[in-house]
Every structure is written in C-alpha cells, then in structure tokens.
Amino acid sequence: MRIILLFCLLISFFMPTYSQQDSSDVDLEYCQHNHLNFGIISIGNSKSFSGLRLNWSDCDLGEVNGINFTMWRPDEDTYGTINGVALGLFPMASKINGISFGLGGVLTRDSHWGISIGGFANISEGNMTGINIAGLATVSEKEMSGINLAGLALVSQGDMFGFNFGGLANVSEGNLSGLSVGGLANVSQGSMNGLNLAGLALVSEGEMTGLNLGGAACVSDGSMLGINVGGLALVSKSITGVNVSGGALVSEGNILGLNFGGFAVVSMTENISGFNATLGAVMAEDGIISGLNIAGYKVVAEEIVGLNLAAILTKAYDLNGVSVSIYNGFHGTQTGLSIGLWNFAKILNGIQIGLINIAENNPVPFKVLPFINANL
C-alpha cells in the first residue's frame, strides 16, 4: 500500500488536478475559444464540436462527439464530455465515453466508460467501466468494472468487478468480485467473490466465496466458502468447503468440509466437521469434532463423533464412535470403541483395547485391565 500511495503522490505532480467546484461557479473568462473549423475538422480550443478536434491544451471544454486530440494536459478547471475517442499526453474530461489513450495517463472526474489505456495510469474520481489498462496503476474513487489490468496495482474505493489483474496487488475498499489475480495480494474491505489468486495473500474484511488461492495465506474477517487454498495458512471466522493449507487452518467458528492442514486444523470456539487431516493436530477444545479425523500428532475436542485416528494423543470429554491412538483419554463418557496402548474413560459404554485400559465406572476388579476392558 505504501508503494501505491507514493506512486499516486508522484504522478500528481505531472497530471492535472480537479477543482471540487461546480463548473457554474468557476471563472473561466481567461479561456479563449480561438479555433478554426474546416468542415469536420476543428483546430484550436473550440468549446464543443462534432468531428475531429485538434488542440494543444483544452480549456473550458464543453462536449466533443468524435475524436479529441490534445498535445498537453488540460487546464485544471477544464470540464466537459468526450464521446468517441480521446487521444494525447493526458486526455482528461469530466466524462469519457468511448476509447481513450494517453501516453502519460487518462483522467476523468465523473466517469469513464469504454476502453482506457494509460502509459502510466488511469485515474477516475467516479466509476470506471469497460477495459482499463495502465502501465503502473488504475485507480477509481468509485466502482471499477470490466477488464482491469495494471503493471503495479488496481485500486478502487468502491466495488471491483470483472477480470482484475494487478502486477503487485488488487485493492478494493468495497467488494472484489470476478476473476482477480494479484502478483502479491488481493485485498478487499468488503467481500471477495469468484476466482481469487495471489502470489502472497488474499485478505478480506468480509466474506470470501469461490475459489481462493493464496501463495502464503487466505485471511477473512468473515466466512470463507468454496475451495480455499493457502500455502501457509487459512484464517477465517468460519470455513466451509474444500480447505487446504500447507501450514495451519484456523477458524474462530465452524470448519466444515474437506479440511487439510499441514500442521493444524483448529476451531477456536466452535465445531469441526467432515474429513479432517493434518500432520499435526485437529483441535476444537470447546466444540465437537465429527466425521473422519486423521492426525499425525493429536486430536483434542470437547466431544469426538465418528472415526478418529491420531498417532500420539486423543483427548476429549466425550467419545461417540471409534478412536485409535497411543493414548485415548475421555474424562466424560466413552460410547464406542477405543484402541491404543493406554485407554482411559471416566464412564465407559463400550470397549477398550490396549495394554492398559482404565474404566472408572467399572467395579474394583475391572477398573484397570490389560488387553481389553468393557462395559456394555
């Protein structure tokens, strides 16, 4: 973000700025509309024209229907509409509807609709709709929609829709929807929907829905739904779908679906359901883990329901199902089967198979037994 802000500050020295006054309140008496018209060709600062208009620098522009070509940036108080083609070093108008190409950049105050190509940047204080291509950055203070490409970044203070590619990042203060590819990151203060790819991270303050691939991480302050892949981490308030992380898969709430975490699958306060696999730990200390659980280290939950396979440790208050681990410890009720070297149950309603089997609800001779213990 610092790189993007620095770029915008630097480019502001070379590109015109906009007055926030309405055109009716601006004194443009110094603008001279000297021009020569030759049929469909106008040379000079004609206020409005239909055809081919050639001018050094626009001042007090009205409306051009056709082709508007300017060599230098317009006056800072210039307003107007270009319908057709805008060409030059810094084409600028209140509205551009059509095709625009600027060697330095293209700027609009109210809106741009059509195809916009800026050597350095495309900047609009309003909406940008269509095909927007810039060597460094495309920036919109409102909605950006269509096919948006920038060598450095796409930045929108509103929603961003369509195919979005930023060599460094895609940044939206609203929703980010469609196919969004960021060389390093996609960042949205709203929801992120569609196909989202980033070399480093996907970050959303809202929901993340669709196919989400982050080279290092996918992080959402809302729910995460769909196919979610993070090289190091997936972090969200709730995660649902096919969820894969090379490091950790962490949710404040529920985790549901096919869940693969290289080192951990963790729900901080709620439940984990589905197929859960990790080389490390599956943990929902205050919730229920249900389905098929495979862990290289341990499974820890308030309650385990289903088939549980942990290489070292399984610990829960209740078990309803089957648990296989070196140590199985249930300080509430075990309903089902536990298999391990050491099995412990406060209340056993099932079978224990292992070297040491402890069932505290059994009578004294049968509280601790080798090989097998049962209470049916």
Tens of pLDDT along 282-338?
999 999 999 999 999 999 999 999 999 999 999 999 999 999 999 999 999 999 999
Give one DSSP letter per residue of 236-263, joined into a string: ESEEEEEEEESSEEEESS-EEEEEEESS
What count of Cα atoms within 13 Å lies in the side-chain half-sphere of residue 284?
A: 26
Backbone angles phi, psi at 48, to 5 degrees: -135, 145
Structure-derived torsion over alpha carbons of residues 228, 234, 237, 243, reported in degrees to the nearest 10: 40
376 and 248 assigned to the same domain: yes
Tell me: pLDDT of 4 over 50.
Answer: no
- The model's pLDDT over 95-114, given as tens digits with 9 standing for 90+, comes to 999 999 999 999 998 999 99
- 3-state secondary structure (DSSP) of residue 53: strand
Would you state the pLDDT for residue 331? 95
Question: Residues 347, 333: contact at Cβ < 8 Å?
Answer: yes
pLDDT beyond 70 at 206: yes
Do 246 and 154 sit in the same domain of this protein? no
Given 142, 158, 174, the domain boundary residue is 158
Shared-domain flag, residues 151 and 4: yes
- Asked whether 139 and 150 are in contact (CB, 8 A), the reply is no
E strand or H helix at 157: none
Q: Are strands 153-156 and 342-359 parallel, antiparallel or unpaired?
A: unpaired
Q: What percent of the chain has pLDDT over 70?
A: 91
Is 8 contained in some domain? yes
Helix (DSSP H) and strand (DSSP E) numbers for the chain: 1, 33
Q: Any residues with CB less than 8 A from the CB of 270 and at least 6 apart, and which?
A: 238, 251, 252, 253, 254, 255, 284, 286, 287
43 and 134 share a domain? yes
Q: How many domains does the chain have?
A: 2
In a domain, 221, yes or no: no
In a domain, 170, yes or no: no
Q: Residue 221: is its pLDDT beyond 50? A: yes
Residue 206 lies in a domain: no
- 101, 86 contact by CB (below 8 A): yes
Q: What is the pLDDT of residues 142-197, one digit of tens each?
A: 999 999 999 999 999 999 999 999 999 999 999 999 999 999 999 999 999 999 99
Pairing of strands 313-324, 281-295: unpaired
What pLDDT does residue 2 have?
A: 46
Contact 340, 322 (CB under 8 A): no
In a domain, 213, yes or no: no
Paired with 351 in beta bridges are 337, 374
**Distances from the Cα of 356 to the Cαs of 93, 175, 327, 328, 345, in angstroms?**
83, 57, 10, 11, 12
Same domain, 8 and 154: yes
| 93 in a structural domain | yes
Mean pLDDT of 227-242: 91
138 and 247 in a single domain? The answer is no
Q: Measured between alpha carbons, how far is 165 from 265 in angstroms, rounded to an integer?
A: 31
Same domain, 139 and 279: no
* Residue 114, in any domain of the structure: yes
pTM attached to this predicted model: 0.77
Has residue 21 got a pLDDT over 60? no
7 shares its domain with 149: yes
Looking at 29-38, 54-63, 176-185, 207-216, which range is the least confident one? 29-38
37 to each of 62, 327, 333, how far by Cα in Å?
16, 93, 94
Domain's final residue, options 124, 158, 192? 158
Shared domain for 146 and 243, answered yes or no, is no
Q: Are 171 and 156 in contact (CB under 8 A)?
A: yes
- Assigned domain for 104 exists: yes
Residue 49 and residue 120: Cα distance in Å, rounded? 28
Contacts of 6 (CB under 8 A, 6+ apart): none
| Residue that is last in its domain, among 110, 140, 158 | 158
Same domain, 27 and 144: yes
Q: What is the pLDDT of residue 76?
A: 62
pLDDT in tens, 326-371: 999 999 999 999 999 999 999 999 999 999 999 999 998 899 999 9
Query: Backbone phi, then psi, for 365, in 5-degree steps?
Result: -65, -20
**Range(s) of the domain holding residue 152:** 1-158
